[in-house]
Amino acid sequence: MLTLFYSPHARSVDNEIGRGSGFADVALSVAGRKLAVELGQHYAGQQLDAVFSSDLQRAAVTAAIAFGKRGLPIVLDARLREFDYGTMTQFPIAQIDEEIPRRITEPFPEGESVLMAVERVGAFLREIIREYEGKTVVIIGHRATKYGLAYWCSDIALETMVTSPWEWRDVPIWRYELRAAQLNRRVIVHAL
Establish whether 97 is an annotated binding residue.
Answer: no
Residue 191 lies in a domain: no
In-domain check, residue 189: no
190 within domain boundaries = no
Rounded to an integer, what distance in angstroms lies between the CA atom of residue 45 and that of residue 40? 10
Range of the domain at 25: 2-184
67: left (phi over 0), alpha (psi -120 to 50) or beta: alpha
Q: Which of 9, 99, 112, 142 is catalytic?
A: 9
Q: Is there a catalytic annotation at residue 127? A: no
d(CA 73, CA 77): 13
58 marked as part of a ligand binding site:
yes
In a domain, 64, yes or no: yes
First to last CA, the chain: 33
Regarding pTM above 0.85, the answer is yes
pLDDT at 179 over 60: yes
Note whether residue 192 is domain-resident: no
Mean pLDDT taken over the chain = 93
Q: Tell me whether residue 176 is annotated as binding.
A: no
Chain segment 139-176, per-residue pLDDT in tens: 999 999 999 999 999 888 889 988 888 777 778 999 99
Domains identified in the chain, total number: 1
CATH code (residue 53): 3.40.50.1240
Give me the sign of the Cα torsion angle 55, 32, 167, 134: positive
Residue 15 lies in a domain: yes
Whether 168 maps to a domain, the answer reads yes
The answer to the question of residue 76 being in a domain is yes
- Active site includes 142? no
Q: Which stretch of DSSP H or E encloses residue 18?
A: none
Q: Which of 38, 82, 110, 119 is catalytic?
A: 82
Percent of the chain whose pLDDT exceeds 70:
96
Q: How many CB atoms lie within 10 A of CB 37?
A: 12
pLDDT of residue 186: 57
